Amino acid sequence: MANGFDDLFRQLATINEEIVSLNAELVLQAERLKILEEDRGEGAGGGSAGAGEGGEEEERVAGAPVRWDDLVPAERVALWREFVVWVIWMADRYGITNDQIPRQCWWQHGAVVEELTALWTSHQSAYALSEDAGSAPYLWQDALARAIERIGRLWVGTCRNGQHRDRHREQWDGDEKYLAAILATVPAPPEGGGEDGDSADPAGEEPGDDDTPPDSE
């Protein structure tokens, strides 16, 4: 049997859910603010949180290319955090939909990660203080549009329905027979040419020579 406290309990439960959601949003905003403060405070030499101890290692320049496989574990963790926060900001700022980048699994697509990483570092570079600061942001907007179109058309497969599905493909790396077969097909030199690509005169004569003897006086 319902009593006068049921409505109050429901209201308290709703308020509690809103508080949890607000706390999560505050944590995300705090992460974004921290990254912005680090970038502004360090200027062009903005480094990652894991870049060395005591300033002995060279700090990462804002906008420098990132190759995830080449990073040491501490730097990979630090840069991944910055990268993910930026992707979330970019997706909300530009109204990215699931048809363009699948929210539930974009990080599981290697090509998508590479596309977004390039967009992230180029965004840092475009909005850094430089002599080309006027046109660089506009050029970045154009690159963003082309990259988003390419991601949705080429890289995400059938993940647009809210569920991740691996694309069906054969693995290239790790097949030794496949590699050996390709390495054995060394391209042949072009026909009719020597090492330098020029054909030699069969008689060994200079161009313009003929067999007519000179006139005798």
Q: Is residue 173 part of a domain?
A: no
126 occurs within a structural domain: yes
Structural domains counted in the chain: 2
User: Is residue 95 in some structural domain?
Assistant: yes
Can you give the pLDDT at residue 144? 95
Contact 116, 106 (CB under 8 A): yes
Q: Do residue 36 and residue 113 come from a single domain?
A: no
Let me know whether 69 and 112 are in one domain: yes
Asked, for residue 90, whether it belongs to a domain, the answer is yes
In the prediction, which pLDDT does 68 show? Answer: 93
Residue 5 vs residue 158, higher pLDDT = 158
Percent above pLDDT 70 for the chain = 54
Alpha carbons within 13 angstroms on the beta-carbon side of residue 103 total: 11
More confident call, 61 vs 167: 61
- How confident is the model over 150-154, as a mean pLDDT? 86
* Residue 183 domain-assigned (yes or no): no
**Same domain for 19 and 114?**
no
Q: How far apart are CA 214 and CA 39, in angstroms?
A: 83
- Same domain for 88 and 162? yes
Any domain includes 191: no
3-state SS record for 139-197: HHHHHHHHHHHHHHHHHCCCHHHCCCCCCCCCCCCCCHHHHHHHHCCCCCCCCCCCCCC
How far is residue 7's CA from residue 78's CA, in Å, rounded to a whole number? 46
Q: Is the pTM of this model over 0.85?
A: no
Residues 30 and 87 grouped into a single domain: no
Residue 137 lies in a domain: yes
In this prediction, residue 114 has a pLDDT band, given cuts at 50, 70 and 90, of: very high
Domain that includes residue 130, residue range: 63-166
Let me know whether 96 and 145 are in one domain: yes
Domain contains 94:
yes
Tens-place pLDDT, residues 6-58: 665 666 666 666 555 555 555 555 555 555 555 555 444 444 444 444 444 56
